[in-house]
Structures are given as structure tokens and as C-alpha cells.
């Protein structure tokens, strides 16, 4: 096994590369930072609103539509003819509370039951016979307004003439009172008949018992005589009670109906519009002709009238109303966006992270398009002058500065995140490419054995127990330290630790891609072998609670955290973009030339490697060997 240490000239070269990108102090000193170390972003609230521009636009569009509808209603209200050839009349019935307590009263306190009897059943049929209209038509011409506080019923009838409306209202009231009176008489008659039947049964039973008692006396049956005498007393009592009940019912007479007319409809019809008439008739036809009111509350008017009332308070004209609705919608949309942003607990900006966690944000990696993410390629190599690549160069510079104090062996850097799909694998691949630009030898280790993806981004083969070549010169990859996919996690972690210890003497930097901190314990088990940690968070996905827990977990393990890299940052909402974004914008022609020159450089390096004899490096007792690049 060939042990190699980092040469002094390699360290100098690395330091020079770091200086070319800017020292850590220069990187962390940004001109847009305030005295407290936090980024001053006076346009932060506006950026938060612009992040939800679709929601603001939707609410503004709804406001425009409502403004247009109000204009349509106003135009229809102005142009629609007012028909005055329909009428309504009101007959008011009220419960009489002055009936003496000694008088029998018919139970009619349930006004809802009375209202239903007015609108359905025998009452509408009797009214139809009186006025000469079909029963179905009569049933749609009546409404009942229940006023529970005053214990009254308003019978409101509609018609095509005043006389028709008044006749309908008074007829409904008359028929209701007549039916209630008939029920009272029927109730009294049934009660008297029931009392007479009970009295007759008692007398018959008494007569039969006395006859049996006479025969028992003749036979001198003492035991039967005693029992029959008891039965005789019971039937005598029953006859007395039945007779008293019958006398009481006859004395009470027919129960009084405690309902009387407070106001008749005769001569009191009022004019309604044709639209109101048809609206009331349609509601009654589907059973919506009973309404409960309280106090001085008036009956419900039509929806068209209410909308027209509101519409009259808006500016006149279609265009002013649409503009007013749009402006109101924009205002409400901004308010909703600010409220949602206040309730949002996801990490989005550098300022937000640094105010929550006592760790610096050392990189804000801009987001990629959906097509770029699906391509599964390293965008930093395809576009070396993009802002995406420059952010990883900043990370490489910071790693170089942190490595200056450790000259005896390679630097071990662990890249992790609070949860899955937050960009740690992408960070490892692109950071390795930027470190290789300065001539450093880099080993990428995929320690996320549950979801390996690093070999896909680096264009490498997935050969367990081997050193795999990547598309990046001077960057090699260990995809898996064990061949058995069913190995226990403890076995895998033990093999990973063994490889890391041996690789320290063979590479300038070892970048470790691990499982999420809050999902498994894999990253924690490797912290004692790690020099530095980079915590990756994804803007718009990582929650503040998860970020705080991950930082607290690393702090308890006394891990040396260099800082936080935020991925998927919208460049338009980043404060630095407005100062430096134009510098990173690459012209299309110049970008194509740079990429072509980068590919030619790769081809030259491949030719040099083919001329050299293959070098096999034994990486510890794990038995991992380097596979020559094909």
C-alpha cells in the first residue's frame, strides 16, 4: 500500500486557488451586510409578495370580475322596466294570552306547526275552492312570516290584482281558524265519549261483581265474599272518578282557540314588481315560503335587490367599476400574500436563516430550471461562469481556507441536510468539480447507502468496493463500501469509517454525502472522523423547526460546522442578485466557447492519463481498489 501525504507545493497551490476566489474573510464580508452581520434587504417584504405573484394576480382578477358583474347589475337595474301590476296583502294573526286559566284551551303554541298547516294540507285546498283557483296555484301564492317574540303569524299573499291578494290572505286566515275550531269541537266530543265509555265500563263491572257477591253469600263462601267485597269497593271508586271526569268535560265545554286576527288584509294591498312576484311564487313552489323573523326584522328581499343596493355605492360606468375591483383585488391580494408569508415556517432567505440559527450562510445556490434538474448533470461544469458555479467556488474557497491549518493529511468534509431532497448530493458533486479546478485530488464518498445518487450526477459507474472514475478530472467516487445490499447499517457504517481513515492519506479532500440528519443516525456516527461540516437547506422546503433541530444536533456533537448552504434560491428574490447578478450572466456565444474549451481540456487530460501506467491504490482493509477509467 502506498501511503502518500499532501505535498507542500500542493498546499501552496490550493492556497493560491483559494486566494484567487477570495479569502474566507473577503467572502463573508459582503458590502450589503449591516453591522449585526445580517443582510440588509429593504425590499424584503416586496420580494415576499412577488414570490406569491400568482395568488395576487388571481385575487385581482376576481376583483375585476366582481367589478364587471356590479356594472352589469347596475345597467340591468337602470334599463329593466318596473312592473307594477302585481300586489301583496298581509293578514296578521296573534296568540291570545288573556284566556282565563279556568277555560280549556286548544294547544296551538307551536307556530311552526301552524305555519305548515297554512301552506300544505286541507287549508290551501279549501281556499282554492273559495277563490276558484287550482290548489297548486293557491299554495304558491302564500307566505308565512313567524314572529316568535310577539307570538304572531303574518300571512302574506300575492296576486295579480289588489282584490285577489287581499282575498287570498283573508281566506287563508279564515280557513285556518275554522279548521282549528273544528278540531277543538272534535277534541271535546272525543273526550266526552271517552269519559262516558269509562263510566259505562265501571258500572258494568260493578254490576257483575255485586251479582257474584250475592251468589257467594248464598253459598256461605267466606273467602270469596271477602275478595268480591274488595272488588266492589274498587269499581265503586272507578265509577265515581269516571262520573267526575265526565261532569268536568261537560262543564269545560269546547276548548277555546287562542288565536285571533290582529290585522286584516282587506283594503291594505301594496304594489310589488313582477320580478318580486315571480321570485316569491318560485320560492313557494319549492317549499321555501316559511320564514322566521325576530323583533323588527323585515322580510328577506331578493338577492338582485341587495346586489343592486351595493352596486349603487360603486362608481358609475363599467370601466371605473372594473378598475375599482382590480385595485381592491390587488390590495387584498397583497394583504393575503403578507399574511401567508407571516404564517409560512419554511426557510427562504439568508437573513431568515441567520436570525434563526447561530451559523453563517456561506452560499446561496440559485435554482435551476425543471429541464436542468431532469438532465441529472453538473450545471457548474456546463456553465462555469454562471452564478450557480460561482456559489460552489465560494464554498471551495472557504474549504481551502479551513484546510490550511491541517497539512499532515487530507481534509474530511461531511455534507448533510435536515431532511431528504434538499440538495446535499448536488452540492457534493458540484463542490467536488470546483475543488478539482484548482488541481486538488478529491474523493467523493456516497455514504447515503439507502438512496445512492451521487454516481448519476458525476457520470460514474456504480461499482461497489471500487474506486470509480468520474467525468471530472482528479475526482474519484466510492459508490458503496459493501457489496451486500442487505448488510446491516452498523456493518456499512463500520466499513465507511475504515475507508475514511485510510483515504485521509491519499487525497487532498474527502467529500462525504450522507443521509439526512433527522431521518437516520448515519451522519452522526461519522462526525468524530470529520474535520468540517456543511449543512445544506433548501429554500421553500426546509422548515425552520427542522433547521433548528439539525443545528442543535450538530452543536451537541461539537461538530465543526463551516456554515449553511441554501439551495434552490430564486435569484430574483435574492438581495445579492441585484448587485452582482448581471456580472454572472453569461452571453450565449461566449458560454458556448467556454464549454467547448472545457471539453477540449478534458480530452487532453484523458490522453495524458492514457499514457501513464495504471495506478492501483489499496484503500484500507475494506478491499476497495481503483478501477482504471474506460
Residue in this structure with the C-alpha cell 481540456, named with its chain if needed: 601
- pLDDT at position 73, please? 74
Does 391 lie in the same domain as 257?
A: no
d(CA 544, CA 583): 32
Which residues lie below 8 Å from residue 10, measured CB to CB, with a gap of 6+? 439, 440, 508
- pLDDT at position 376, please? 58
Strand partners, 93: 153, 261
Strand partners, 362: none
Residue at a domain's end among 243, 272, 301: 272
Q: Is residue 353 part of a domain?
A: yes
Does 213 lie in the same domain as 124?
A: yes
Q: Is residue 295 part of a domain?
A: no
- Residue 502: other Cβ atoms inside 10 A: 17
d(CA 570, CA 365): 9
Of 191, 206, 193, the C-alpha closest to 240 is 206
Helix (H) or strand (E) holding 343: helix 318-343
Does 18 lie in the same domain as 102?
A: no
Of 477, 103, 88, the C-alpha closest to 273 is 88
Does 148 lie in the same domain as 26?
A: no
Q: How many residues in the chain?
A: 630
Q: Is residue 314 part of a domain?
A: no
Q: Is residue 251 part of a domain?
A: yes
Q: Check: CB of residue 566 under 8 Å from CB of residue 417.
A: no
- pLDDT at position 401, please? 82
Does 132 lie in the same domain as 32?
A: no
Rg (CA), the chain: 47
Q: Is residue 93 part of a domain?
A: yes
Q: Check: CB of residue 400 under 8 Å from CB of residue 25.
A: no
Whole-number Cα distances in Å, 560 to 155, 204, 446, 531? 84, 109, 21, 7
- pLDDT at position 374, please? 65
d(CA 24, CA 18): 9
Of 431, 448, 435, 441, the C-alpha closest to 409 is 441
Helix (H) or strand (E) holding 444: strand 442-446
Does 177 lie in the same domain as 36?
A: no
Does 262 lie in the same domain as 115?
A: yes
Q: pTM of the full predicted structure? A: 0.47
Strands 475-478 vs 466-469: parallel, antiparallel or unpaired: antiparallel
Residue at a domain's end among 214, 248, 272: 272
Mean pLDDT by 10 residues, the chain (630 residues): 33 34 38 41 62 80 83 64 74 78 68 83 87 88 86 88 90 88 85 88 88 84 84 88 86 80 86 87 87 70 48 65 83 80 77 85 84 66 79 87 72 91 88 87 86 82 84 87 81 89 89 89 88 91 89 90 89 50 44 48 44 39 43
Does 88 lie in the same domain as 20?
A: no
Q: Is residue 63 part of a domain?
A: no
Q: For residue 166, give its domain range.
A: 84-272
Identify the CATH number of the domain in which residue 245 sits.
3.30.1890
Whole-number Cα distances in Å, 378 to 49, 269, 428, 434, 623? 32, 84, 10, 11, 30
Does 120 lie in the same domain as 34?
A: no
Strand partners, 562: none
Whole-number Cα distances in Å, 526 to 266, 420, 483, 500, 572? 96, 18, 20, 9, 37
Grid coordinates standing for 24? 474566507
Grid coordinates standing for 443? 474523493
Residue at a domain's end among 272, 302, 330: 272
Q: Is residue 173 part of a domain?
A: yes
d(CA 90, CA 88): 7
d(CA 101, CA 43): 79
Q: How many domains does the chain have?
A: 2
Does 17 lie in the same domain as 137?
A: no
Identify the CATH number of the domain in which residue 550 sits.
3.40.50.300
Does 250 lie in the same domain as 382?
A: no
Does 488 lie in the same domain as 559?
A: yes
3-state secondary structure at position 32: coil
Q: Is residue 437 part of a domain?
A: yes
d(CA 338, CA 342): 6
Q: Quote the longest CA-to-CA distance of the chain.
A: 147
Amino acid at each position: 500500500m502506498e501511503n502518500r501525504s499532501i505535498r507542500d507545493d500542493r498546499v501552496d497551490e490550493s492556497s493560491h486557488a483559494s486566494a484567487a476566489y477570495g479569502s474566507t474573510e473577503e467572502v463573508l464580508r459582503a458590502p450589503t451586510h449591516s453591522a449585526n452581520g445580517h443582510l440588509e434587504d429593504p425590499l424584503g417584504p416586496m420580494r415576499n409578495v412577488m414570490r406569491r405573484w400568482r395568488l395576487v394576480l388571481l385575487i385581482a382578477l376576481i376583483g375585476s370580475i366582481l367589478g364587471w358583474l356590479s356594472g352589469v347589475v347596475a345597467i340591468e337595474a337602470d334599463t329593466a322596466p318596473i312592473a307594477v301590476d302585481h300586489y301583496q296583502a298581509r293578514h296578521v294573526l296573534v296568540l291570545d294570552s288573556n284566556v282565563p286559566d279556568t277555560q280549556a284551551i286548544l294547544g296551538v303554541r307551536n307556530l311552526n306547526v301552524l305555519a305548515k298547516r297554512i301552506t300544505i294540507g286541507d287549508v290551501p285546498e279549501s281556499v282554492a275552492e273559495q277563490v276558484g283557483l287550482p290548489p297548486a296555484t293557491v299554495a304558491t301564492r302564500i307566505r308565512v312570516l313567524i314572529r316568535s317574540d310577539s307570538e304572531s303569524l303574518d300571512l302574506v299573499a300575492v296576486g295579480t290584482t289588489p282584490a285577489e291578494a287581499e282575498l287570498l290572505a283573508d281566506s287563508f286566515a279564515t280557513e285556518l281558524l275554522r279548521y282549528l275550531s273544528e278540531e277543538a269541537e272534535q277534541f271535546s266530543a272525543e273526550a266526552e265519549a271517552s269519559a262516558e265509555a269509562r263510566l259505562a265500563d265501571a258500572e258494568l263491572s260493578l254490576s257483575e261483581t255485586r251479582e257474584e257477591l250475592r251468589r257467594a253469600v248464598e253459598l256461605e263462601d267466606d273467602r270469596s265474599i271477602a275478595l268480591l267485597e274488595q272488588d266492589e269497593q274498587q269499581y265503586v271508586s272507578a265509577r265515581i272518578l269516571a262520573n267526575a271526569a265526565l261532569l268536568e268535560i261537560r262543564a269545560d265545554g269546547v276548548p277555546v282557540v287562542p288565536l285571533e286576527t290582529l290585522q286584516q288584509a282587506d283594503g291594505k294591498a301594496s304594489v310589488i314588481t313582477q320580478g318580486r312576484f315571480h321570485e316569491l311564487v318560485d320560492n313557494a313552489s319549492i317549499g321555501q315560503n316559511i320564514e322566521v323573523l325576530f323583533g323588527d326584522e323585515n322580510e328577506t328581499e331578493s338577492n338582485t335587490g341587495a346586489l343592486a343596493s351595493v352596486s349603487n355605492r360603486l362608481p358609475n360606468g363599467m370601466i371605473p367599476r372594473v378598475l375599482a375591483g382590480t385595485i381592491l383585488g390587488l390590495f387584498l391580494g397583497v394583504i393575503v400574500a403578507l399574511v401567508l408569508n407571516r404564517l409560512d415556517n419554511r426557510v427562504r432567505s439568508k437573513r431568515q436563516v441567520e436570525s434563526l440559527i447561530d451559523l453563517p450562510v456561506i452560499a446561496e445556490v440559485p435554482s435551476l430550471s425543471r429541464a436542468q434538474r431532469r438532465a441529472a448533470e453538473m450545471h457548474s461544469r456546463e456553465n462555469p461562469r454562471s452564478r450557480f458555479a460561482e456559489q460552489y467556488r465560494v464554498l471551495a474557497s472557504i474549504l481551502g481556507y479551513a484546510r490550511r491549518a491541517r497539512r499532515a493529511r487530507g481534509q474530511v468534509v461531511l455534507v448533510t441536510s435536515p431532511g431528504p431532497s434538499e440538495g446535499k448530493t448536488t452540492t457534493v458533486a458540484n463542490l467536488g468539480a470546483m475543488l478539482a479546478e484548482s488541481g486538488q485530488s478529491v474523493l467523493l464518498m456516497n455514504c447515503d447507502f439507502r438512496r445512492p445518487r451521487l454516481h448519476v450526477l458525476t457520470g460514474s459507474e456504480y461499482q461497489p468496493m471500487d474506486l470509480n472514475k468520474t467525468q471530472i478530472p482528479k475526482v474519484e467516487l466510492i459508490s458503496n463500501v459493501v457489496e451486500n445490499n442487505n448488510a446491516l447499517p452498523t456493518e456499512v457504517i463500520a466499513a465507511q469509517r475504515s475507508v475514511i481513515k485510510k483515504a485521509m492519506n491519499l487525497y487532498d479532500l474527502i467529500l462525504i454525502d450522507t443521509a439526512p440528519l433527522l431521518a437516520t443516525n448515519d451522519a452522526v456516527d461519522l462526525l468524530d472522523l470529520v474535520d468540517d461540516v456543511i449543512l445544506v437547506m433548501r429554500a421553500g422546503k426546509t422548515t425552520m423547526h427542522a433547521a433548528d433541530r439539525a443545528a442543535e444536533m450538530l452543536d451537541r456533537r461539537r461538530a465543526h460546522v463551516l456554515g449553511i448552504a441554501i439551495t434552490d434560491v430564486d435569484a430574483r428574490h435574492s438581495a445579492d442578485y441585484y448587485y452582482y447578478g448581471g456580472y454572472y450572466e453569461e452571453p450565449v456565444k461566449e458560454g458556448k466557447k467556454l464549454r467547448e474549451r472545457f471539453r477540449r481540456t478534458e480530452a487532453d487530460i484523458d490522453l495524458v492519463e492514457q499514457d501513464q501506467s495504471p495506478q492501483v491504490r489499496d484503500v484500507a482493509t475494506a478491499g476497495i481498489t481503483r478501477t482504471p477509467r474506460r
